[in-house]
Structures are given as structure tokens and as C-alpha cells.
Amino acid sequence: MRRRSFLGTPLAAAFAAAAADGTVDDRVYATGDGIPHTPNEYARLLVKLTESDAVAPDSYSLGGAVEKLEQRMASVLGKETAVWLPTGTLANHLAVRLLAGNRRRVLVQAESHLYNDCGDCAQTLSALTLIPLGRGKATFTLEDVETAAYDAQTGRVLTRVGAIQIETPVRRRQGERFDFDQMTRIAAWARAHNVGLHLDGARLFLESAYTGRSVKEYSALFDTVYVSLYKYFNAGSGAVLAGPKALLDGLYHTRRMFGGGMPHVWPYAAVALHYADGFERRFRTGLETSEAVIQALSKTSNFALERIPNGTNIFRLRVFGVNAPVYKMRLFDAGVGAADPQGEWFAMQVNETWGRAPAAEITKRFIQALG
């Protein structure tokens, strides 16, 4: 059952009514990085957040709640400043555009979002040449970087690498992490060769929870860092790009040039600020609960579970004795939402909703759905 069809069911109406009454929603969503909101839920949250007039409006994405969010994220990431942008696509694009300058080659993962899912935006709109490394892998190595840099300088026309982007965790690799040792080595090489370094950290806060490294430990290696605001901070849209003031100063002009100077952004910024408060603690609770559930289910003969090597918040689950689509519907009735199975396997995602109920209760729901 897809989310749109679920929203029209009596069960969805019952949960919406419970939320309106102020009762706690203990449903676990094993899909997505954040908390799904219906339009009504999002609207009621905005009403709640604005009742005390604590949310100040912005003007074309400047000032008000947007500025407060930018300052908050810059501090959390350990950067001088941050700029709100409407999408992660634009954040990554503008970051490598700024860092590369007149050196038009940018090294990226072959499996990265910027290389695969942005319609050649950097090539078409900024005349950058993206060089893909590490095809089929989450990590490319320092040796890959050195080879690409050597190739760029030994052709008949001298070209130089201007920037490197690293995405971690990697969406196209089911949340697999970029090897931190290689990341550190590449960062040192980039500094030594005056090459800009950008982190696509859309899901950085999730990775931080799984590795125990602070987000600042990651971001300190990079000139610029992008973090998504809608994936797990639950805003309707948005991203932040953080980095040095000298680089990002005046970026709002470029943002507007690319059509990203939206006139009213406070409804996104207010929600992102709301969920940023205490997020790391709440997600840690959800993570620990999910680990206990995984351990419990692994001990039963009805389930097979697979972890993603060097992964983060995604694991795979197979159920025996029940048709997978039927199990999905039963699981939803038991209080756990899941995505459509791929064949016989479910891709289960951990988010903060896993902290809504004790591990024993969530385990019981998985078993109850067997019928």
C-alpha cells in the first residue's frame, strides 16, 4: 500500500484523530529517514510553532526564522556561516561551482547523487566537468584521486582539478559509508594541492549516530558541507550549505540567479529548527531500539536479516511463510509501516519513530504480522 492510498484509509483517519486529541502516536515507520507528515499534520505543527509569535518571517529567504536556522546549523557543523537553499541539488551544485572557480574539473563518486540524479546540472549550467571515480563503490581512494589529477595535467591541454565532492552515506549504495580513513587522506591531499573539498552530507547526522563521530569531526575535513532539512528534520523542503564566510558571502545573489530566492521560507525553517532540537538524542534512542529489534528477530526462524556492509540506517528483512505484500499490510495493521518489498526482501529504514515504543513491543508487532 503506497503512502497516498494509506492516507485515505479509515486506519489513517483513526491515527490522525488520535494525534488531534493529543495522544501519542506510537506507530513506527520503517521507511524514510524522518517522520512522515500529512498536510494537515504539517499545518497543525506550524500553528503550534507560531502561536507564541516566536517564528519571525523572512523576506526572500533572508532574515527571520531562516537566519536563525542558518546560524544554528553553522554552529552545529563548526562553520563560519551557512546559507539556506531550496534543494540539495542546488546546494551541491553551487558548492562545487564556488570551490572549483576557474579550474573546471570536479572529482565525484560515480554513485553520487550529483553525478547521477541532477540532470547534468553542473555541466550544463556551470560548465564544470565531473569526473566519476569508484564506480560501483561507496568509496574512492586517494590513489584514484592522484590518478585523476595526473591525467588532468598530462593531456595536450592542461586542465586542473578544482574541487572534490564526497557523499556519505551514499544513497545509491543503500546508505553505505565512505571510508573515513580514505576521507581523511583525501582531505589532506586536497589541502596540500589547494583543491576545494565539499561534503554532500545530506544524511550526515544519521551517519554520525552510527559511527560515534560528531558531525563536526566530519565537517572539519571539508571546506563546505551540505545537510538536508527535509530528510530527517522533516521540513517541507530545504537544505543548508555551510562553509567559510569569504566563500559564501553574497551567495544569496547566486541563489536568486538560479531561481532559488523563494519569498517565504519560514514554514520550512521553523519546522527544521523544531526537529533539530534534540534530534541526535531522539535518533540515538531509535537506533538503539532498532538494534534490539534486529537482534531479537534474528533469533527467530521466520525472519532473515541482512546488514549493509559499512552501512547506516538501512537493513534488509525477509519473511518466511507469508507472502511479502500480504505481510506488509499485516505489519501496517500491527503498527509498523514499511515500503513495498522488492521481490521477497524489504528494505527497512531506521528513523526516530523507532523510539516511539519499546523494542519488545516493536518485535511483538513484527511477529504478530506473521498471522
Amino acid in position 324: A
Using alpha carbons, select from 168, 109, 161 the residue that is nearest to residue 135.
Answer: 109
Contact (Cβ atoms closer than 8 angstroms) between residue 340 and residue 325 = yes
Quick one: pLDDT at residue 16? 42
List, in sequence order, every residue forming a beta bridge with 319; answer none if it has no partner. 303
Outline where the chain has alpha helix (H). Answer: 3-6, 10-20, 39-50, 64-77, 88-100, 113-116, 121-126, 142-153, 180-192, 204-211, 215-219, 245-248, 251-257, 266-276, 279-298, 324-334, 359-368
Neighbours of 194 (CB within 10 A): 9
Q: Along the 371 residues of the chain, how does pLDDT read in single tens digits?
A: 333 333 344 334 433 444 443 446 899 999 999 999 999 999 999 999 999 878 999 999 999 999 999 999 999 999 999 999 999 999 999 999 999 999 999 999 999 999 999 999 999 999 999 999 999 999 999 999 999 998 887 777 778 999 999 999 999 999 999 999 999 999 999 999 999 999 999 999 999 999 999 999 999 999 999 999 999 999 999 999 999 999 999 999 999 999 999 999 999 999 999 999 999 999 999 999 999 999 999 999 999 999 999 999 999 999 999 999 999 999 999 999 999 999 999 999 999 999 999 999 999 999 999 99
Sorted by where each starts, the structural domains of the chain and their CATH numbers stand as: 3-30+278-368 (3.90.1150.10), 53-276 (3.40.640.10)
Quick one: pLDDT at residue 24? 62
| Cβ contacts of 141 within 8 Å, gap of 6 or more | 134, 182
Displacement of CA 121 from its chain's centroid (Å): 20
Residue 104 phi, psi dihedral angles, 5° rounding: -85, -5
Tell me the helix, strand and coil percentages in the chain, rounded to 5. 45, 15, 35
Contact (Cβ atoms closer than 8 angstroms) between residue 191 and residue 269 = no
CA distances from 242 to 71, 86, 249, 262 (A): 10, 14, 11, 19
Using alpha carbons, select from 279, 252, 277, 301 the residue that is nearest to residue 85.
Answer: 252
Per the structure block, which three cell numbers stand in for 175? Answer: 546508505
Residue 344 phi, psi dihedral angles, 5° rounding: -100, 0
pTM, entire model: 0.91
Find out whether the peptide bond into 86 is cis, omega within 30 degrees of 0.
no
